[in-house]
């Protein structure tokens, strides 16, 4: 599989990565899917300490044991579970980050994390303190690089200006093009985009639309009413009729050079195979332009 350089790091990540949040807690099946992903050329695995209260990291750690030098592991920090374990609070403090990383390392069964990401962020955070925590962990060799997972413009702007992040993870798909507003700035600073949600909760897959969630049927998706999606999605598929909608969606994201990797999830082996098949598909400039014409580009509204 083709690889792209992640920002100004020396990491080269597979164009198709793996969003581990979608893995079920059935350990055996999850490990089988991860191993198959590696066999098909995937080397970037993205998890978080928040997912399944750390169980997701544990499964990823078990799956990647013995394969550590062949993969790039990214995880996230900042959301702190309460003692009751029924909700979490936001804690971007230096003390918490430096404590939480120890638990992630243990669960992942590794001595270092390739990309450690702040899992959110607000403009009211002690940003310099947060950055200092990541910088110290990098100097200590506990993490190789750091980034943020955020869709808040003011947060993105501050980290670009004040830190050495190599990546910004944000939602990006044909049905959610808000991230494009930030592509020029990130490219200028040699920071990559990690595209999460590239398949728009399954709307951009071969799954029939009538099987989508009731929430989307009632409330739509981002700026689209459900009725709009019913009309739009066949038009998107028609842009490259010989390809799957999944491949079209993933290749659209990768048509932008600032995007280093897309991280669709897969809870079943068939989904993984469909995702990875996109590596052999190309979209020409005309097709990309037509896809842009068919879809909306809006801007982020939460500037906190």
Q: How far apart are CA 147 and CA 149, in angstroms?
A: 7
The question of whether 51 is a catalytic residue gets the answer: yes
Which structure tokens are listed for 132?
A: 């200092």
Closest CA to 171 of 247, 279, 259, 52: 259
**SS3 call for 150:** coil
**How many other C-beta atoms are found inside a 10 Å radius of the C-beta of residue 26?**
12
Q: CA distances (Å), 278 to each of 129, 225, 262, in order?
A: 40, 27, 11
Residue 34 CB partners (closer than 8 Å, separation 6+): 18, 20, 23, 45, 60, 63, 64
Q: Are 90 and 128 in contact (CB under 8 A)?
A: no
Which structure tokens are listed for 135?
A: 């910088």
Among the listed residues 12, 44, 51, 112, the single catalytic one is: 51
Q: Give the catalytic positions in this structure.
A: 51
């Amino acid at each position: 599989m083709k690889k792209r350089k992640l920002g100004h790091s020396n990491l080269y990540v597979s164009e198709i990565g793996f969003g581990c949040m979608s893995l079920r807690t059935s350990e055996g099946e999850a490990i089988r899917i991860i191993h198959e992903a590696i066999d098909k050329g995937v080397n970037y695995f993205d998890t978080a300490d928040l997912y399944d209260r750390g169980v997701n990291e544990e499964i990823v750690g078990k799956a990647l044991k013995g394969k550590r030098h062949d993969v790039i592991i990214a995880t996230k920090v900042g959301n702190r579970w309460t003692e009751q374990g029924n909700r979490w609070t936001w804690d971007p403090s230096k003390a918490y980050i430096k404590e939480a990383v120890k638990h992630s390392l243990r669960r992942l069964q590794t001595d270092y994390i390739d990309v450690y990401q702040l899992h959110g962020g607000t403009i009211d955070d002690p940003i310099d303190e947060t950055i200092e925590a990541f910088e110290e962990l990098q100097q200590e060799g506990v993490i190789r690089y750091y980034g943020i997972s955020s869709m808040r413009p003011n947060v993105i702007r501050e980290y670009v200006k004040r830190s050495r992040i190599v990546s910004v993870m944000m939602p990006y798909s044909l049905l959610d093009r808000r991230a494009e507003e930030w592509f020029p700035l990130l490219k200028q600073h040699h920071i990559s985009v990690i595209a999460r949600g590239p398949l728009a909760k399954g709307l951009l897959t071969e799954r029939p639309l009538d099987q989508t969630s009731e929430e989307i049927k009632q409330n739509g998706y981002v700026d689209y009413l459900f009725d709009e999606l019913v009309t739009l999605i066949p038009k998107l598929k028609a842009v490259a009729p010989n390809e799957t909608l999944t491949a079209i969606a993933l290749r659209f994201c990768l048509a932008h050079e600032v995007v280093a990797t897309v991280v669709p999830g897969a809870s079943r082996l068939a989904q993984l195979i469909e995702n990875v098949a996109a590596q052999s598909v190309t979209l020409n400039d005309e097709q990309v332009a037509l896809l842009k014409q068919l879809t909306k580009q809006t801007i982020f509204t939460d500037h906190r």
